[in-house]
Amino acid sequence: MALLRRSARQQPTPIDGIDCLYLDLDGVVYKGPDAIPHAVESIRSLDARAVYLTNNASRTDAEVAGHLASFGLELTAEDVVTSPQAAMRLLASHLEPGDPVLVVGGAGIVVEVEARGWRVVRTAAERPRAVVQGFHPSVGWQELAEAAFALQAPSADGGIPWIATNGDWTIPVAGGIAPGNGTLVSAVHTAVGRLAEFAGKPERHMYDVATERFAAASPAMVGDRLDTDILGARRAGIRSIMVLTGVDRGASLIGADETMRPDHVIEDLRGLAEPIAPLRETFERSTGDTYFEVGTAAVRRSGIDITLVRAGARPVDTIRAACAAVWTADRAVLGLRISDELLAL
């Protein structure tokens, strides 16, 4: 992986050779109503095309584009790929024009359903041919109950398709962390005993929508969550870049399962165009210890012990050195003793 790249005469950047950059939104471009420091100017300076991927189904692509444009970014609604759009891709093989679709959610889903010539309904009594469920703050017990009524029969017994826009268990809001769409989907699942098919990250459908829409030959994904952005990129077979401005931080990365390990880690979006600091790995024969250094950061692996020798001038360098020490070990992370200093990153 590039994250573990050894020194070279000419150091590449994380986006060398990329023609299309997929960016998650919350935690990458903005937090709430405000742009994350350095994000806007970094995106504006890109040579690659910027495309925005969001699991949040509550807003339309045009609404998302308007929010981003308020920061000074130049884009249209076409540059936004939403989880409802990925859900429509999954529904297409099941429906005919004019078919009724029971929508649990808001305008982000409604607009996409109607754009494809299907009819939005809100009750099981209207005999929907499919159910699409996505997060919206207004979703309550009645909407969940109607979905459950429509989904009583499993698909094997002639039941209708059930597509969930995404499975995020939580969603960050002004007051803190709140239940996300995955939590609401789980409530319906508990009632009907069947599973939804998920459209958003970490499933690859959103990446496929973006790649087809922009004919991307060499895309990369930038995200702040290992279990959605990075895992999804790995499943889609594209380059993954973790940015430390959102949900997952150093400890999450150090202990990440192999399926969620990114190709690159950057401190903020300025790192997209900065040379990748080389990793130096040194084995000390007298002790059997291995040292991993990035910049001024140094981490030692001695048997099963992973310890901080020297913190780097930049936290991201220390994190990368620690990841290298853990990820190249001869055993899983649960078999290692990682120092509290590193787990506090």
Determine which one of 16, 19, 26, 208 is catalytic.
Answer: 26
SS (H, E, C) the chain: CHHHCECCCCCCCCCCCCCEEEECCECCCEECCEECCCHHHHHHCCCCEEEEEECCCCCCHHHHHHHHHCCCCCCCHHHEEEHHHHHHHHHCCCCCCCCEEEEECCHHHHHHHHHCCCEEECCHHHCCCEEEECCCCCCCHHHHHHHHHHCCCCHHHCCCCEEECCCCCEEEECCEEEECHHHHHHHHHHHHCCCCEECCCCCCHHHHHHHHHHCCCCEEEEECCHHHHHHHHHHHCCEEEEECCCCCCHHHHHCCCHHHCCCEEECCHHHHCCCCCCEEEEEECCCCEEEEEECCEEEEEECCEEEEEECCCCHHHHHHHHHHHHHCCCCCHHHCEECHHHHCC
Q: How confident is the model at residue 8 (pLDDT cuts 50, 70, 90)?
A: very low
- Measured between alpha carbons, how far is 27 from 228 in angstroms, rounded to an integer? 13
Rounded to two decimals, the pTM is 0.91
Q: How confident is the model at residue 311 (pLDDT cuts 50, 70, 90)?
A: very high
Q: For residue 264, give the nearest of 308, 220, 218 by alpha carbon.
A: 220
Lowest mean pLDDT of 153-167, 184-198, 298-312, name the range: 153-167
pLDDT for 136: 94
Whether the per-residue pLDDT at 156 is higher than 90: the answer is no
Q: For residue 13, give the nearest of 237, 225, 269 by alpha carbon.
A: 269
Active site residue 24: yes
Q: How confident is the model at residue 173 (pLDDT cuts 50, 70, 90)?
A: confident
User: 168 Cβ partners below 8 Å, 6+ apart?
Assistant: 55, 135, 180, 181, 182, 200, 228
pLDDT digits (tens, 9 = 90+) for 48-82: 999 999 999 999 999 999 999 999 999 999 999 99
Determine which one of 24, 168, 224, 317 is catalytic.
Answer: 24
Q: How confident is the model at residue 158 (pLDDT cuts 50, 70, 90)?
A: confident
Active site residue 227: no
Domains of the chain, earliest start first: 2-55+202-272 (3.40.50.1000), 84-198 (3.40.50.1000), 279-343 (no CATH)
Q: How confident is the model at residue 9 (pLDDT cuts 50, 70, 90)?
A: very low
